Structure 1
Amino acid sequence: MAAPAAAAAAVEVLFDFDKTIIQWDSDDWVITKLGAADAFNRLRPTMRWNSLMDRMMGELHAQGRSADDIRECLRSAPLDAHVLSAIRTASALGCDLKVVSDANSFFIETVLEHHGVLGCFSEINTNPARVDAQGRLRISPFHDPTTSPHGCSLCPDNMCKGKIIQRIQGTDGAKNKHFIYIGDGKGDYCPSLKLGEGDYVMPKENYPLWNLISSDPQLIKAEVHPWSSGEEFERILLKLVNKLITLHAHGSQLDYKCNMSNPVSTEVGHHQTLPVPN
């Protein structure tokens, strides 16, 4: 019988965060709920998104908003019960769950921890965030465009999700893995192109990723399964997970075991891998 570690890695589920795990955009939620929309709209035409979000955290700090205020704002946002159920079930079945998101580590960890699913994820690949000595939330780019540009024309300059997927695919034992990628945005198209036969992509229907896939379906080697609601998200994901588990059980006789350890935030380029706090 295969070792538990090998079994847990056989099915890998990669999640976008904004408008995928959560129904809303976390940046927009914080900016709107904490009253910074006017400053955001004024600065938006002049700045790249990642730099803009760092600037907006400075605006909130100047208005007297603390990191705890931002945490409470994020905790107040609803999540679909079907999505949470799907995450817990996929993890319990032994899938290796990872986040690949252009949000930031502070927002993602706050939301996932609040809803009790942070430990379901082995990695969170996103823009690094930290609270500085003055109590201001700082957000940095995943790829620093000034020192380590990623060179992908499909992706924003601060993050190429396709390169993240290629790194994951290049890890030990990747040739025995099957990948399920779930996303909605334009930035999720590049990683979808990196998937191969035997993999699956779940685009949110009528969102940019779905539209890009639909414009030329032949470019996608993975099998495409669109979804439009939390209920469909859960049903389709668990159907694909169970299909792959059955495949591995029959083909490789892998023994699945849930890995509920705390995840790590994985950053490449000029960043180091950092542990996610409990």
Structure 2
Amino acid sequence: MTNNIVIVFDFDKTIIDCDSDNWLIDELGFTDLFNQLLPTMPWNSVMDKMMMEFHSNGITIEEIEKVLQRIPIHHRIIPAIKSAHALGCDLRIVSDANMFYIETILKHLGISEYFTEINTNPGYVNQEGRVRISPYHDFNKASHGCNNVCPPNMCKGLIIDKIQNSIFEEDSKRFIYLGDGAGDYCPSLRLRERDFVMPRKNFPVWDLICKDPSLVKAEIHGWSDGEELEQVLMNLINKIMMEEHVQFISSDCKLQTLSSPVLVSLPKAVSVRP
């Protein structure tokens, strides 16, 4: 089964239920050092420095991987991802974490193959056995030029532009974007009226959207936890698929053939528009 739906997930606090950097630092006992370094350099640079500290203190790659494999995730997230993939959706990740974290966690969860693309900060193990983390946008050479609340190392709005431009017959595609942080605001502004944005309720992206929801062209559907994420996402997928096929079937036939999950009333878009 194939469809025209592209689902873009943030990673931290969206697929997993915490911030992966903070989880690793806290679990390995380096919170105080991290807090000392954070005011002195961008977050992305601090994390590369922390990886050097881990290595200098004898923490192995295997130990880091074991900590990442224990990261909390809501029990309904994996079923939601698998269901969306089974329905033919194109699943992608746009995250300000890093490739080493994401690949380690997805592999452990057994869901790597469900994603066609991961856009994130480069993260790899060098010849010395140390994880290196570098910025997606090399802000030391040039700014990404975005005037929204994007961090210097990543503008997710530009990444969404790239995804949209790279997809053949992009105009026929429908996007669903899920995220929680301030960095997820910029890509929300790049979506069109035919698209959907799913901000996590009472998180930074939700607050930014609620300040002036008229700036967001896409339909807004909030979620609070993994269970609600699954429910809202599945309803939106069914909604889009119904709209795509309604021209081929009569109204009577549609009512007779829809499965029961599709007949469940769709949640209303959040009432934050003036």
- Which is richer in helix? 2
Q: CA deviation at 1:41?
A: 1.0
Determine helix, strand or coil for the equivalent of 2:192: coil
Q: Which residue of 1 aligns with 2:145?
A: 151
Distance 2:248 2:15 in 1: 31
Q: CA deviation at 1:56?
A: 0.4
TM-score, reference length from structure 1 = 0.86
Aligned length: 247
Of residues 210, 215, 219, the one that matches 1:219 is: 215
Distance 1:89 1:186 in 2: 28
Q: CA deviation at 1:203?
A: 0.4
Give CA deviations for 1:151-201 in whole Å, capped at 9, x if unaligned.
Answer: 012211100000000011112221110000000000000000000111000
Q: Which amino acid aligns with 2:202?
A: N
Distance 1:153 1:169 in 2: 20
Of residues 7, 11, 15, the one that matches 1:13 is: 7
Of residues 9, 31, 40, the one that matches 1:46 is: 40
Q: Which amino acid aligns with 2:155?
A: C
Of residues 155, 163, 178, the one that matches 2:158 is: 163
* 1:80-91 map, 5 Å: 80-91=74-85
Tell me, yes or no, if the aligned pair for 1:168 and 1:174 is still in contact at 8 Å.
no
Q: CA deviation at 1:95?
A: 0.1
Q: Which has the higher contact order (CA 8 A, sep 6+)?
A: 1
Change (3 A) 1:251 1:120: farther
Q: Which runs of 5 or more residues in structure 2 are unaligned?
A: 250-274
Change (3 A) 1:252 1:167: farther
* 1:66-105 map, 5 Å: 66-105=60-99
Q: Which residue of 2 aligns with 1:271?
A: none
Larger of the two Rg values belongs to structure? 2
Q: Which residue of 2 aligns with 1:257?
A: none
Q: CA deviation at 1:148?
A: 4.1
Distance 2:119 2:171 in 1: 21
TM-score, reference length from structure 2 = 0.87
Distance 1:13 1:117 in 2: 15
* 1:157-236 map, 5 Å: 157-171=152-166, 172-236=168-232
Q: Which residue of 2 aligns with 1:120?
A: 114
Q: Which runs of 5 or more residues in structure 1 are unaligned?
A: 254-278
Give CA deviations for 1:192-235 in whole Å, capped at 9, x if unaligned.
Answer: 00001110000000000000000001000000000101110000
Q: CA deviation at 1:149?
A: 2.4
Q: Which residue of 2 aligns with 1:250?
A: 246
Q: CA deviation at 1:252?
A: 7.9
Distance 1:100 1:13 in 2: 10
Distance 1:43 1:34 in 2: 16
- Measured on the aligned residues, the alpha-carbon RMSD in Å equals 1.3
| Percentage of matched positions with identical amino acids | 52
